[in-house]
């Protein structure tokens, strides 16, 4: 009976307050899921924009769930219950002063400070490196248009192996070749077929399957252009036996799509080469050829069909 009078009554609040780990957040998988989503974004920036978009969506979702969990834990933590000192009694065994209640759990403060500091340091280290690594892939990739000489250098229905300097400021390292055929007028507009000679397997230079004629040099407003007549039945790649028909469609070998093509324009009676673009398959021929246009894509990469999802990585 004497002991019961001497001990203050223990309550559930008293237990909770005494346990320093009672309000720690439970283990959660969202930080790991968020990190995986960020990794997917980085991989997607290199491999496939679709993967990057999926990564961004997942990062937003997982980040939201992570923040919700953390804030929920903060809200769920019960207010510290002041310890009510027992009435002074001559029978009380521990009559000491009541301690000051803890207003905000120290573990919460340390957790927030660690996460915030980690985020700041991660941002400082990652963002500039990411910018230098990724930005060049999106900036300044377009080559200037190239003057290929007067339109009458390209007789109708004849092919010309056309070798030109892609960027006169950079010189001969930008020498490239395209196969060009003038198709005549279509709806009163001159029509050209301009096919890149770069094989879409691994990038070797393809050759016209037909004997070449005598090369001819043509002066232009920039660097001279070399035109070599030919009447090919198709185009072939000497590296691994890739073969293409006269519109650049793959007919045999390891290439994964049709040969790339070029935009063009007519300026003051001269043919100007524009930007390169990729195609999957070309339907029809000459001025009537039709193809879905895709952004210029590396060799070995599918641009259409289920393969573009199954094989998104550039070899």
Question: In angstroms, what is the minimal distance from the CB of 198 to ligand FES?
Answer: 9
Question: In angstroms, what is the minimal distance from the CB of 300 to ligand FES?
Answer: 9
Q: Longest Cα pair distance anywhere in the chain, in angstroms? A: 121
**Checking DSSP bridges between strand 235-236 and strand 146-150, what pairing results, if any?**
unpaired
Which is closer to ligand FES, CB of 255 or CB of 280? 255
Inter-residue long-range contacts of 63-68, CB under 8 Å, 24+ positions, other chains counted:
63/30, 63/34, 65/30, 65/33, 66/28, 66/30, 66/31, 66/33, 66/34
Backbone angles phi, psi at 190, to 5 degrees: -60, 135
Question: In angstroms, what is the minimal distance from the CB of 129 to ligand FES?
Answer: 33
Which is closer to ligand FES, CB of 149 or CB of 299? 299
Give CA separation, 45 vs 3, 50, 55, 80, 138, in Å.
Answer: 72, 9, 10, 48, 10
Which is closer to ligand FES, CB of 220 or CB of 249? 249
- Binding residues for ligand FES, rule: CB under 6 A, are 199, 201-202, 204, 237, 239-242, 253-255
**Measured distance CA(241)–CA(220) in Å, rounded:** 35
Which is closer to ligand FES, CB of 227 or CB of 246? 246
8 A C-beta contact, residue 69 and residue 33: no
Question: In angstroms, what is the minimal distance from the CB of 224 to ligand FES?
Answer: 28
Which is closer to ligand FES, CB of 52 or CB of 237? 237
Question: In angstroms, what is the minimal distance from the CB of 314 to ligand FES?
Answer: 13
Question: In angstroms, what is the minimal distance from the CB of 204 to ligand FES?
Answer: 4
Which is closer to ligand FES, CB of 165 or CB of 249? 249
**Measured distance CA(241)–CA(251) in Å, rounded:** 11
Backbone angles phi, psi at 153, to 5 degrees: -75, -10
């Amino acid at each position: 009976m004497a002991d019961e009078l001497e001990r203050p009554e223990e309550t559930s609040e008293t237990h909770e307050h005494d346990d320093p780990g009672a309000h720690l957040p439970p283990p959660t998988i969202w930080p790991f899921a968020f990190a995986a989503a960020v990794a997917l974004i980085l991989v997607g920036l290199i491999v496939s924009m679709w993967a990057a978009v999926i990564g961004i969506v997942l990062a937003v979702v997982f980040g939201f769930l992570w923040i919700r969990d953390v804030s929920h834990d903060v809200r769920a933590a019960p207010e510290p219950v002041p310890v009510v000192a027992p009435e002074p009694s001559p029978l009380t065994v521990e009559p000491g002063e009541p301690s000051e209640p803890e207003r905000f759990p120290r573990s919460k403060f340390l957790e927030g400070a660690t996460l915030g500091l980690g985020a700041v340091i991660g941002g400082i280290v990652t963002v500039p490196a990411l910018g230098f690594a990724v930005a060049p892939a999106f900036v300044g990739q377009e080559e200037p248009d190239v003057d290929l000489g007067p339109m009458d250098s390209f007789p109708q229905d004849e092919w010309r192996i056309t070798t030109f300097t892609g960027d006169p400021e950079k010189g001969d390292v930008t020498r490239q070749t395209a196969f060009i055929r003038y198709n005549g007028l279509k709806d009163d507009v001159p029509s050209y077929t301009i096919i890149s000679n770069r094989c879409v397997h691994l990038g070797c230079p393809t050759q016209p399957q037909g004997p070449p004629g005598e090369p001819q040099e043509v002066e232009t407003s920039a660097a001279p252009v070399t035109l070599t007549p030919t009447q090919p039945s198709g185009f072939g790649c000497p590296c691994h036996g890739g073969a293409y028909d006269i519109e650049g469609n793959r007919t045999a070998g390891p290439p994964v799509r049709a040969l790339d093509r070029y935009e063009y324009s007519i300026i003051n009676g001269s043919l100007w080469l524009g930007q390169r673009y990729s195609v999957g398959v070309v339907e029809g021929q000459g001025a009537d050829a039709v193809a879905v246009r895709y952004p210029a894509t590396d060799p070995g990469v599918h641009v259409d069909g289920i393969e573009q999802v199954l094989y998104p990585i550039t070899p």
